[in-house]
Amino acid sequence: MSDDVLLQTRGSQFITRGGTPVKLHGIGLGGWLNMENYILGFPGTEALVRRALADVLGDALAEHFFERFEEVFFTDSDAAEMARLGFNLVRIPIHYRRLEDDGAPFKLKESGFAALDRAIDSCARHGLRTLIDLHVIPGSQNGFWHSDNATHQAGFWGHPHFEDRVLNTWRAIADRYRSNPWVAGYEPLQEPGDPTGRHIVEFFPRLLDAIREIDPDHILFLKGNEFGSEFEFYTEPRANTVFIAFDFAVPGTVVGRQYPGESDGSHYDRSVLEERFLQITEQARNTDTPAWIVEFGPIYTADEQFNENRYRVLSDQLDIYLEHDANWSLWNWKDIGVHGVVELAPDSPYIRCIAPALAKKARLATDAWGDDREVADVIDPLKALVRSEFPDHPNPDGWVNRLVRQILFGEPLVRDYAECFRGMTAADIDEVMSSFALENCVERKPLVDAIKRAVASDNEAAEPVAGG
């Protein structure tokens, strides 16, 4: 294994095994091997969409739909462009169903590993390391859409069958990539949400041990329970470990928030962002491990004047990371115009095709990031009722948003999305999927410029690590 490429940790820094310091400037490949609704424009969850498209198109054409999407969404051209923009790591979220079917548990699928191999090899050709992120696991590790959870309950915890399948999958991943120096490391479990806080204490040591028994070299990137707020279950410090932090700033994501300035009784400015950064990276500082912001980035719209406010949030975040010597991975590479460094052209075949479902989706605010002002007459009284009847509820507004907007409205809307493709042939599907090819997408130039400036500043400030 190449000592010049394989990453390790030394104190609060990443270094190669040969002692060369490395500052990570990553980009997330969300929406590809794990499909998320707001990234790709569908409502609900991936499993619901796959089922609805099979009903509308038939099994064969639905399979062709997803195969063409997977083939086109990420290619060698994407890897080359990522490297050109200054990224040096690609985080690859993957759904367990790419590697294993529910109907054949413990039988791993070579097709899913082949897709992962293709991405890792392509990234390596362009000098990009990769981080393998198991983003979705059987039963769902949290109650949110990004774990392909059509309910609101995290069904994984406390089920030995699910646990054994995850251990089996990670042993296979570790075995396959243990000799690949371009793999920066493994993210064993994305955003765990054990509501009891008890099961995770027992499961996580087993999970980490299972990986380490096969691969003692690659870095483990670990997230706390309850979306990073609880790290108490990591009872013993482990070598070559990094703790994950998410940094989706409120003024960069919530509708109507201004930055800097007052909004809804709260003030947001650079000092507030820095305070938040220090809070979410406390575990890294306490354990003298690298600070790693694995996801961050504002939500953008078609209104560039509005987006100026969001670019300022991003710029301040990047400055804070530089000041505190933090490594980062921006979310996300490609989407329909929400987070992406590159986005589908507004007049692309895919956007034109799903336009009716997109309009209804926006009106009903079925995405977590949605603007619910058009359904406020329905949503606001429900929120008020929950607050009144359950004054001790920790997040009444979020509870209503999840159950009503994302599930009650979102689930039947899945059918509307699928109907947009009714009657299509394989050739029609190929044309629609071509919208995701890099050459047919457009770059968000202010975001690209901010990335380039941040990478240049980080590289200029980098200092060599003493010793070797």
The whole-angstrom separation of Cα 140 and Cα 137 is 5
The whole-angstrom separation of Cα 326 and Cα 293 is 7
Q: Is 191 a catalytic residue?
A: yes
Contact 53, 421 (CB under 8 A): yes
Residue closest to 250 by CA, chosen among 261, 242, 240, 239: 261
Cis peptide before 464 (omega within 30 of 0): no
Residue closest to 311 by CA, chosen among 450, 105, 174: 450
Q: Which residues contact 392 (CB under 8 A, 6 or more apart)?
A: none
DSSP string, 365-420: T-STT--GGGGHHHHHHHHHHHHHH-TT-S-HHHHHIIIIIIIIIHHHHHHHHHHT
Pair of tokens at residue 78:
């994407």
How would you write 211-230 as a 3-class SS string?
HHHHCCCCEEEECCHHHHCE
The whole-angstrom separation of Cα 434 and Cα 71 is 10
Residue closest to 298 by CA, chosen among 266, 270, 257: 257
Q: What element of type H or E holds 68?
A: helix 59-73
From the candidates 295, 374, 419, 460, which is the catalytic residue?
Answer: 295
- Lateral strand order in the sheet of 7-10: 7-10, 13-16, 21-22
Q: Is 262 a catalytic residue?
A: no
From the candidates 191, 230, 323, 389, which is the catalytic residue?
Answer: 191
Residue closest to 410 by CA, chosen among 369, 366, 378, 363: 366
Residues belonging to the active site: 191, 295
